[in-house]
Amino acid sequence: MLLTSTRDTNVAISPLDAVLSGISAEGGLFVPTDFPQISIEEVAEFANSSYERICSAILGRFFDLDTDEIAKKACSSFTDSEVTPLKKVGDLYVLELFHGPTLAFKDLALQVLPQLMSNALKENSKVLILTATSGDTGKAALCGFANVRCRGKIKIAVFYPDGGVSDFQKLQMVSQQGENVEVIAVKGNFDDAQTGEKNLFADTDFGKTVRDAGFSLSSANSINIGRLVPQIAYYFFAYSRLIKDGAITAGDAVDFTVPTGNFGNILAAYYAKRMGLPIEKLICASNANNVLTDFLTTGVYCSSRDFHLTMSPSMDILISSNLERLIFELYGQNSEKVVELMHDLKTKKRFEVGETIREKLTELFCAGFLDDTETKAVIAEVFTKTGYVLDPHSAVAYGVGELNKSDRVNVVISTASPYKFAADVLCALGKMPTGNVFADCEMLSEISKTPVPKAVSELKNATVLHDTVCEISEMKAALLPFVR
């Protein structure tokens, strides 16, 4: 299989090389031209397979590697025997993606991506990974790259928005050990950090410094195709469990509701659909940063608007990078059209799609958003009705999922553990947080009758190892000592 670029369809690159490059030279994102197909018979058989087997099957459609071993290693770091258990909560199903080492769904991809990268690295080559994070990617990437085979050949730098992540998320990142690791706070929001990262990729001076130091550049963000492919697996897994539980029979259409920021997770669902999974509607859930709700309902994408810091910080994003991949598909893989629209976005902070594309969007997607007050109400309501505690991101999805419920089965994607946002969750449940992350987690454990995850207690003795803070314009300067 070969991939191409959203901004130049003359590009043809192997999936492993694409993982290593991160982003295409002209700024486009790597995408498949044909989607490998999974037959409904195979989907039906998945009902008897483990997550590991399904993950290997999906990876194997894209990568010519020993995917059994990769999937096995990735799954071994998850604490639930199902890896991503599917639960019935009220009228909806909830797919829990937070049983990995960092308690957020990013682990599902970032326990795989480093393994793909270490396979892609040729002898004598070294790679520098740049990562912008809205809170969860940073730690998941640091964690994923900490235990790959050739970690001596990999350096990783993470940029997070100063003041824009939860206390827990920050502590997870700044306590990361290892000499091949750098963590930098940027005085801006996630979009600033991600744009800064993309600018570093395009900066020829910086590129030369990196090459002179013996490294090539790559990214652990979901602009990297190696992040998206592993995420396709859990949509097939969720479907397989619905069959197993008798909620559907193979072939029945279902809906998924996805809490969305950079559009990576929901794009993986779209890719699953293109590969043959019977998905009817993809329901895109946003917080007060509702740029995607507007786009999917009006066809106008406008990033020039107020930015809100919310209680679901991993979705505080106004420039959703992976939307570019969807646009590429909806325009029939027309890279010229993508170049034009992305140019509009960069220069006018806005682009608009035509009527035919708008129709396609409404056929594929529903969209909605919840502000923080509504999100808290959902957390409280679901707890009162069912005893189940949602984290704020998953609560946004649950609420939007309820609003868009059809007579089909609806699976809400739960992206983070409530323990990661214990203080906000306690507030939503009418309790007073203590001001201490760990005491809050104990309190939450009593209320939710679930054990405090190991990843929480491990942080108790953590020391702060990274305290660099830089201006948006200084990201390059802040990174140079680490590169050299």
Active-site amino acid positions = 106
- Smaller CB separation from ligand PLP, 210 or 423: 423
- Looking at beta carbons only, is 206 or 235 nearer to ligand PLP? 235
Give residue for tokens 């409280």.
380
Minimum distance, C-beta of residue 231 to ligand PLP, in the bound complex (Å): 8
Nearer to ligand PLP, 71 or 315 (CB): 315
Q: How far is the CB of 106 from ligand PLP (least distance, A)?
A: 5
Helix axes 264-274, 323-330, angle to 10 degrees: 30
Minimum distance of ligand PLP from residue 259's CB (angstroms) = 5
State the nearest-atom distance from the C-beta of 176 to ligand PLP, in Å: 17
Cα end-to-end span (Å), the chain:
36
Q: How many whole angstroms separate alpha carbon 3 and alpha carbon 443?
A: 49
Determine the angle formed by the axes of helices 335-348 and 323-330, rounding to 10 degrees.
140
Smallest gap from Cβ 283 to ligand PLP, in A, equals 13
Smallest separation (angstroms) from ligand PLP to the CB of 265: 4
Return the number of the residue (175 or 321) whose C-beta is nearest ligand PLP. 321
CB nearer to ligand PLP: give 233 or 478.
233
Phi and psi of 177, rounded to 5°? Answer: -90, 165
Q: What is the DSSP string of 409-424?
A: -EEEEE-B-GGGGHHH
Residue type, 106: K
| Rama region for 445: left / alpha / beta (φ>0; ψ in -120 to 50; rest) | alpha
With respect to ligand PLP, which residue has the nearer C-beta, 84 or 262?
A: 262
Q: Give the C-alpha separation, 468 to 123, whole Å.
A: 33
Q: Quick one: 243 or 279, whose CB is closer to ligand PLP? A: 279
Q: Rule CB under 6 A: which residues touch ligand PLP?
A: 104, 106, 136, 222, 259-265, 314-315, 393, 415-416
Sign of the C-alpha dihedral, residues 330, 336, 340, 346?
positive
The pair of three-digit structure tokens given for residue 331, joined into one six-digit string: 């325009």
Q: Which has the closest alpha carbon to 459: 194, 244, 176, 181?
A: 176
Q: Which of 39-58 are b and which e, b meaning 16 or more Cβ less than 10 Å from the residue's Cβ?
A: eeeebebbeebbbbbbbbbb
Cα 5 to the chain's mean position, in Å? 20
Largest CA distance in the chain: 60
Q: Which amino acid belongs to residue 190? A: F
Q: How far is the CB of 164 from ligand PLP (least distance, A)?
A: 13
Which residues lie below 8 Å from residue 174, measured CB to CB, with a gap of 6+? 183, 464, 465, 466, 467
